[in-house]
Amino acid sequence: MPGIQVANIRNVALLSHSGVGKTSLSEALLFNHKATTRIGRVEDGNTVSDYEPEEIKRNSSVQTTLIACAANDYKVNFLDTPGYDDFLGEVGAALRVVEGAVILVAAPSGVDVGTERSWSMCEAQGLPRIILVNKMDRENASFARCVSDIQGTFGNHCVPFQIPIGDAQDFTGVVSVVNPPADVPASVADEVQAARERLIEAAAESDEALADKYLGGEELTGEEILSGVRAAIWRGELIPILAGSATKNIGVEECLTMVRDFLPSPVDGIRPLMANDGADVEPDSDGPLAAFVFKTTADPFVGKLSLFRVYRGGIKSNSEVWNSVREVSERIGQLYLPKGKSQDNVTEVTAGDIGAIGKLSETLTGDTLCQRDHAVTFQPVKFPVGYYTVAVSPATKADLDKMSVALSRIVEEDPSLEFSRDYDTGESLITGVGDAQIEVAMDKIRRKFGADLRVKMPRVAYKETISQVTKAEYRHKKQSGGHGQYGHVILRLEPLERTQGFEFKSEVVGGKVPREYFPSVEKGVIKAMGEGVLAGYPIVDLKAVLYDGSFHDVDSSGMSFEIAGNQALRKGVADASPILLEPIMKLTVNAPDAYTGEVMSDLNTKRARILGMTPQDGYTEIIAEVPKAEVQRYSQDLRSVSQGRGNYQLEFDHYEPVPPNLEPRVIEEAKRAREEEKV
């Protein structure tokens, strides 16, 4: 709707655990505002928000979708976010560009891990929020139980702003506590009155003048109550609790009204966005452009689509803007208001509003668009760092040509993914938050870029080394007519301390091996270190000393001594009690105190060495050293033992010997992997 004032815009994120009803709420809102002709159902795969095949397949959102509702000179941009932990990057990007949030709670089950996560993310960013108890029509739904659960978890400043008429199959509507109707049903009259009194107290507590008036026995006016409540919500001192059923379209419009009346607009100064130079960017529609790109997606119809929030000024179709991060000019073609898989064309997006641009050549997520003569740069979104890594390989030779481009493009679309190459194993790797995120990425690559990629657990980069001093001799002698080949070396091999790498020295006396052949011997030794004798892993932490040998005046050459050095090392390592080394990771786990025991028990099965435990406000931080081979699937393991409430960080620390009882298994697995590669 053109011409809407920035003060009448609301930007709101929909948050919850997966399956609580954010997308169903979006469907009802679109239907009520004539944007669709029917309310889609997630289980039927026909919703506006969940339009990607990957979402339809899973009956769950995997990306943030913009849902715009406009009426009566107001516009509310809802960002429908995924509820599954693997897609937290989408949630974080959405929270960056909103002034408020609606957290959905399922009436039958109450507060769950997704509710807690949503609350924590809002708290961290100081976002005003509303809680909607959804699915009030379902079996075992109880508003009173949910309110008790919410208040017990988050505090008594969470207060009902509505009272439902009935629960479960008897749920028929909601009664406003803020503006109670004249004919409140008798069945809920007492509840409404009690909630109304609590609301008035909250309004009085929000302002000193109102508190004096209230304590003095005077009655607060309706406007005083509204303004006091609104101020308390903005400060996070009051959290409204609403009730509804998105699939039955009950309480949906009442929720929209609450958002419009009680959550802040872009001009209310709740979340002033600062540029990197520390200056506030005022939401002035007439000022120079300042916009932030918070999401990039590969759209099948318009190519790359960049979603942006305008903070100042406006963007017009067929114009030019300056990308201050890339320091390039971008040509703006058509502007869009996304609506699921379709887009409505618009000519301009102004301050406070959200829109999309197609086919920007250089712009990526986190970039700032502005005017070159009024350049401004916003800080990028901090995406979650993932530690779940898989190796990817092309299914066919044709897929090989597409693989690198496809992986690069999918990382553009989801910056919480990382594409890298392990030079120790030669594998191409993609790292994310969890297995569901990787699976979705592979599905998208197959569908959007036509590349079929195989996924497997990465090989662990084991190393080999020696554990005792030994001597090795090799004489390379070959006659083939004309000049022959001759090189003779005697080496002493010594183990070095961990991380010392490789050292080569010469103790040859009397010219038994000419000095000019020393580099060739060293080169041969280094080549041989690339493949150990136990399982074919690189050899490390070794000192090779050339102390004797012989040469031939005619037949000796650099190549002959390189071969001799190579073979002497191979022979010597086999006699020096070689051992396998495995990478040891430093693991930091944060889990609620209630799950610390389960986490510790699980770590004990993974050969972990606990370094410390620190209590931290209801959580315990556990620091441990653990072999990499044991934690390649730790995202799933921790989610299981902590009911999704734990998080972790993982980084390489050092190498140490593989336990002798496990060495044969590692050697056998390496042998089997080499045989599979040959096939």
Band (pLDDT 50/70/90 cuts) for residue 162 is very high
Name the burial class of residue 237, with classes exposed (0-12), middle (13-18) and buried (19+) by CB atoms within 10 angstroms of its CB. middle
DSSP 107: T
Query: Is residue 670 one of the residues assigned to a domain?
Result: no
C-alpha span between 394 and 241 (Å, rounded): 50
C-alpha span between 544 and 540 (Å, rounded): 11
Say whether both 74 and 189 belong to one domain.
yes
Query: Is residue 285 one of the residues assigned to a domain?
Result: no
The DSSP element (H or E) to which 614 belongs, if any, is: strand 609-616
Give the mean pLDDT of 206-217: 84
The total number of structural domains in the chain stands at 5
As separate numbers, helices (DSSP H) first and strands (DSSP E) second, the chain gives: 16, 32
Classify 327 in phi/psi space as left (phi over 0), alpha (psi -120 to 50) or beta.
left
Q: Are 376 and 290 in contact (CB under 8 A)?
A: yes
Record the tokens describing residue 88, joined without a space: 């937290």
C-alpha span between 665 and 583 (Å, rounded): 16
Q: Which amino acid makes up residue 510?
A: G
Say whether both 553 and 588 belong to one domain.
no
C-alpha span between 25 and 37 (Å, rounded): 15
Give the mean pLDDT of 591-603: 96
Residue for token digits 């400060």? 235
Supply the pLDDT for residue 481. Answer: 65
Say whether both 198 and 100 belong to one domain.
yes
Query: Is residue 64 one of the residues assigned to a domain?
Result: yes
Record the tokens describing residue 656, joined without a space: 């140490």
Torsion over CA: 455, 460, 461, 466 (sign): negative
Q: Which of 263-272, 364-373, 538-547, 590-599 is least confident?
A: 263-272
Q: What are the E-state strand segments in 457-498?
A: 463-465, 470-478, 485-495
Question: What residues are paired with 369 via a beta bridge?
Answer: 291, 323
573 has pLDDT over 50: yes
Q: Are 85 and 18 in contact (CB under 8 A)?
A: no
DSSP line for 71-82: ETTEEEEEEE--
Say whether both 470 and 430 belong to one domain.
no
Reference 26, options 55, 47, 52; nearest CA is 47
Record the tokens describing residue 28, joined without a space: 């009802």
C-alpha span between 130 and 124 (Å, rounded): 16
C-alpha span between 662 and 657 (Å, rounded): 10
Task: Output the CA–CA distances (angstroms, integers) from residue 348 to 354, 443, 505, 653, in the order listed.
Answer: 10, 34, 72, 52
Say whether both 476 and 411 belong to one domain.
no
Query: Domain of 366: which CATH number?
Result: 2.40.30.10
Supply the pLDDT for residue 1. Answer: 45
Q: Are 253 and 244 in contact (CB under 8 A)?
A: no
Q: Which amino acid makes up residue 643?
A: Q
Q: What are the E-state strand segments in 220-353?
A: 239-243, 290-299, 303-312, 314-316, 319-323, 328-332, 335-339, 342-346, 348-350
Supply the pLDDT for residue 277. Answer: 64
Say whether both 63 and 200 belong to one domain.
yes
Residue for token digits 């569908």? 447
Write the pLDDT tens digit of every residue in 419-452: 999 988 889 999 999 999 999 999 999 998 889 9
Query: Is residue 382 one of the residues assigned to a domain?
Result: no
Query: Domain of 415: which CATH number?
Result: 3.30.70.870
Q: Which of 139-143, 214-218, 359-363 is least confident?
A: 214-218
Record the tokens describing residue 149, joined without a space: 């659960």
213 has pLDDT over 90: no
Proportion of the chain above pLDDT 90, given as a percent:
74
CB atoms within 10 A of CB 327: 11
Range of the domain at 411: 388-445
Query: Domain of 90: which CATH number?
Result: 3.40.50.300
Say whether both 589 and 558 belong to one domain.
no
Exposure on the CB side of residue 355, measured as CA atoms within 13 A: 28
Query: Domain of 501: which CATH number?
Result: 3.30.230.10
C-alpha span between 605 and 586 (Å, rounded): 16
Supply the pLDDT for residue 221. Answer: 85
Say whether both 207 and 300 belong to one domain.
no
C-alpha span between 601 and 63 (Å, rounded): 35
Say whether both 248 and 171 belong to one domain.
yes
Say whether both 568 and 603 belong to one domain.
no
Supply the pLDDT for residue 102. Answer: 98
3-state helix, strand, coil in the chain (%, to 5): 30, 30, 35
C-alpha span between 479 and 286 (Å, rounded): 88
Is the model's pTM score more than 0.85?
Answer: yes
Band (pLDDT 50/70/90 cuts) for residue 272 is low
Query: Is residue 672 one of the residues assigned to a domain?
Result: no
CB atoms within 10 A of CB 201: 15
Say whether both 554 and 595 belong to one domain.
no
Say whether both 227 and 104 belong to one domain.
yes
Give, to the nearest 10 degrees, the angle between helix 596-604 and helix 634-641: 140
Query: Is residue 282 one of the residues assigned to a domain?
Result: no
Question: What residues are paired with 621 via a beta bridge?
Answer: 590, 614
Query: Is residue 280 one of the residues assigned to a domain?
Result: no
Task: Output the CA–CA distances (angstroms, integers) from residue 480 to 239, 474, 477, 486, 532, in the order listed.
Answer: 90, 19, 10, 12, 31
Write the pLDDT tens digit of every residue in 599-658: 999 999 999 999 999 998 889 999 999 999 999 999 999 999 999 999 999 999 999 999
Question: What residues are paired with 546 via a beta bridge?
Answer: 491, 506
Write the pLDDT tens digit of every residue in 295-346: 998 765 657 889 999 999 999 999 999 999 999 999 999 999 988 778 889 9
C-alpha span between 160 and 119 (Å, rounded): 17
482 has pLDDT over 80: no
Residue for token digits 């005003």? 128
229 has pLDDT over 70: yes
C-alpha span between 249 and 548 (Å, rounded): 89
Reference 48, options 69, 76, 73, 20; nearest CA is 69
Residue at which a domain ends, from 340, 370, 400: 370
Residue for token digits 């994120």? 13
Task: Output the CA–CA distances (angstroms, integers) from residue 478 to 119, 475, 483, 557, 572, in the order listed.
Answer: 76, 10, 9, 12, 22
Query: Domain of 623: which CATH number?
Result: 3.30.70.240
DSSP line for 386-402: P-EEEEEEESSHHHHHH
- Mean pLDDT over the full length of the chain: 92
Query: Is residue 334 one of the residues assigned to a domain?
Result: yes
